[in-house]
Amino acid sequence: MAKEYLGALLAVSAATLLGLYMTQRWGDDPVVLLYILPVLGAAVYGGLWPALWAAVAATLAFNYYFTAPYRTFFIHSPADIVTVIVLFVVAAVTSQLAGQLRDQARLAATHAARNATIAGFARKLLSCSSEHDIAETATREIAGLLNCNAVIVSGEDAGHLLASAPASVSLAPSDTAAAALTMTTGEPSGRGVQRINLVDWHFRPIASKNSVLAAMGLAREDGAVPVSEAQTELLTNLLDQTALAFERARLEEDVRDVSLLRERDKIRSRLLASIGEDVKPRLNAIGAAARELKRAGIADKRLVTDVASEVTKLDRYIDNLVEIGPDDQPLPIRISDVSIDLHRREVSKGEQTVHLTPKEYALLAELAKQHGRVLTHRHLLMVVWGPAHAEQIDYLRVAIRSLRQKLETDPSAPRLILNEPAVGYKLAAGTA
């Protein structure tokens, strides 16, 4: 900052030397205008206070060198008094205006840089196709921008580490607890937020309009607070972009899952339709052959009887399967004030329709098909999310919590979707 004041003083000195040269040729009248230039220069390059310093120095220099009596700070002529006062006022006002323009230009440049950073960040997230890729990109970019370590965690207890930068980063139990607090409350927690900083990480929520999707953790090697006040707005915007990317990825995955379910239903319908055409005639032929052997008495009667009995059972099973077709309309399952219509894929609570995501509906439908029976975590994950996610219990917990929020009268004391500790979940027994 000292160099700005020194520069202003040197500029005033240069204007004074130029004024002394001009006075010898053209008199004192044009000199006063020379002192506006140092003031403007100080305002543009140094800001308001260096400009005011230049205004004071310019006024004193003009008084000392160009008003009678010369080489003193006294003024005899009233006209010179007015000139000095006007010079100071003009210089002060000019410094104010120029300083404000400089601050606005700097603010505009800051906003432009921030917007460019956000736009570049959003473009990189747009190229990511999965939640893992989004988390990896977000942690890497934010860690680089803020010059700190970064992690993204998810799950009810924040126990699932989606990504970290650098990859060797790990969380202590106290840090995980702070992340879980952020996931639960949707508020920042950890270093720089709590009064007693017992944790190394500062956590902020990655939240959509309706829920907290994950938590971003930041930490510095020197233990300082990783996010300054000036960086808070930028970080908030970056986390909003990350939340949008997560929602986009989940919607795309849900759309893919719905397409797969439709294809599976089509294949199932075709298989059921083919049973009557392909299997029934062969089964009838086996039954007729068994009856013929029994009448002819050329085979073991007990064995032939067993074959005929099994054929009859198979025939009955196939008839039951064939009856399950697209035109069947099973009755909705009702549990208290909740109705689950598996045929129409509709869920209602009281008189209100409940809107579920494809994953939430698939999970509820699987529980409803065997309501009253405990289904294991692994079974539900494999049916709803697929074999690749059979161990991701946190996915299941998040979906169950969301279903309870939408369907239970009191989600903290569930009566519809019940938990069997360390085993799985079941839907309370209902009526069809």
The two tokens of residue 307 are: 């074959």
Looking at residue 181, its pLDDT comes to: 87
Place of tokens 């952020």: 182
The two tokens of residue 207 are: 């939240």
Domains along the chain with CATH numbers:
2-118 (no CATH), 129-248 (3.30.450.40), 252-323 (no CATH), 333-427 (1.10.10.10)
Chain mean pLDDT for the chain: 80
Which whole number is the average pLDDT over 344-354? 87
Task: Look at 84 and 139; give whichever has higher pLDDT.
Answer: 139
Q: Is the pLDDT of residue 319 over 80?
A: no
Q: What is the DSSP letter of 47?
A: -
| Burial 192-216, CB ≥16 within 10 A → b, else e | bbeeeeebbbbbbbbbeeeebbbbb
Whether the bond between 69 and the residue before it is cis, its omega within 30 degrees of 0, is yes
Pick the closest to residue 381 from 373, 372, 391 (CA basis).
391
CB 169 within 8 A of CB 152: no
Distance between CA atoms of residues 292 and 306, nearest Å: 14
3-state secondary structure of 213: strand
Task: Look at 73 and 6; give whichever has higher pLDDT.
Answer: 6
Distance between CA atoms of residues 309 and 90, nearest Å: 113
Looking at residue 327, its pLDDT comes to: 47
| DSSP bridge partners of 376 | 424
Which whole number is the average pLDDT over 237-264? 84
Q: Secondary structure of the chain: what % helix, strand, coil (to 5)?
A: 60, 10, 25
Give the DSSP H/E element, type plus range, for residue 267.
helix 229-274
Distance between CA atoms of residues 352 and 369, nearest Å: 22
Q: Is the pLDDT of residue 328 over 60?
A: no
Residues 6 or more apart from 9 whose CB is under 8 A from it?
53, 54, 57
Which range has the worst mean pLDDT, 2-6, 185-189, 271-275, 417-421?
Answer: 271-275
Q: Is the pLDDT of residue 403 over 90?
A: yes
3-state secondary structure of 151: strand
Pick the closest to residue 393 from 155, 112, 36, 124 (CA basis).
155
Give the DSSP H/E element, type plus range, for residue 432.
none
Which whole number is the average pLDDT over 288-310? 73
Indicate the pLDDT class of residue 218, thresholds 50, 70 and 90: very high
Task: Look at 322 and 187; give whichever has higher pLDDT.
Answer: 187
The two tokens of residue 284 are: 């009838």
| DSSP bridge partners of 334 | 339, 431
Whether the bond between 166 and the residue before it is cis, its omega within 30 degrees of 0, is yes
The two tokens of residue 35 are: 């002192």
Looking at residue 264, its pLDDT comes to: 77
Q: Is the pLDDT of residue 151 over 90?
A: yes
Residues 6 or more apart from 35 whose CB is under 8 A from it?
12, 15, 19, 58, 59, 61, 62, 87, 91
Task: Look at 116 and 278; give whichever has higher pLDDT.
Answer: 116
Pick the closest to residue 35 from 97, 94, 102, 100 (CA basis).
94
pTM, two decimal places: 0.49
Looking at residue 13, its pLDDT comes to: 84
- Supply the Cα-derived Rg of the chain in whole angstroms: 39
Q: Is the pLDDT of residue 322 over 60?
A: no
Which range has the worst mean pLDDT, 36-45, 233-242, 276-285, 412-421?
Answer: 276-285
The two tokens of residue 386 are: 């697929």
pLDDT digits (tens, 9 = 90+) for 71-122: 777 776 676 666 667 666 766 777 677 667 767 777 677 667 777 878 888 8
Place of tokens 């902020």: 204
242 burial type by CB count under 10 A (0-12 exposed, 13-18 middle, 19+ buried):
buried
- What percentage of the chain carries pLDDT values higher than 90? 10
